[in-house]
């Protein structure tokens, strides 16, 4: 399955009004021990408490009503 850049933009349009902008976290102590800086996106702070919010909302909002 290939995901196009346009499909990413479409998903953002669908879920944008419902998502919370979550922080990007890092740890100075951990970064000193690693050969790179590590960043973690705190999507656990979404309304659902889960990173799965984005995919689930996009899937639901992509559904079409069957008449």
Tell me: the pLDDT tens digits for 4-30? 999 999 999 999 999 899 999 999 999
Q: What is the pLDDT of residue 23?
A: 95
Q: What is the pLDDT of residue 31?
A: 96
Label residue 49 left, alpha or beta by phi (over 0 means left) and psi (-120 to 50 means alpha). left
SS3 content of the chain, % helix, strand, coil (to 5): 45, 10, 45
Range 31-55 average pLDDT:
90
pTM here is 0.61
CA 35 vs. chain centroid, Å, equals 26
The Cβ of residue 11 has, within 10 Å, a number of other Cβ atoms equal to 18
Q: What is the pLDDT of residue 54?
A: 85
């Amino acid at each position: 399955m290939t995901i196009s850049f346009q499909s990413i933009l479409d998903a953002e349009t669908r879920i944008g009004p419902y998502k919370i902008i979550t922080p990007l976290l890092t740890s100075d102590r951990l970064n000193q021990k690693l050969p790179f800086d590590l960043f973690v996106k705190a999507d656990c702070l979404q309304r659902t408490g889960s990173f799965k919010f984005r995919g689930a909302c996009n899937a639901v909002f992509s559904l079409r009503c069957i008449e």
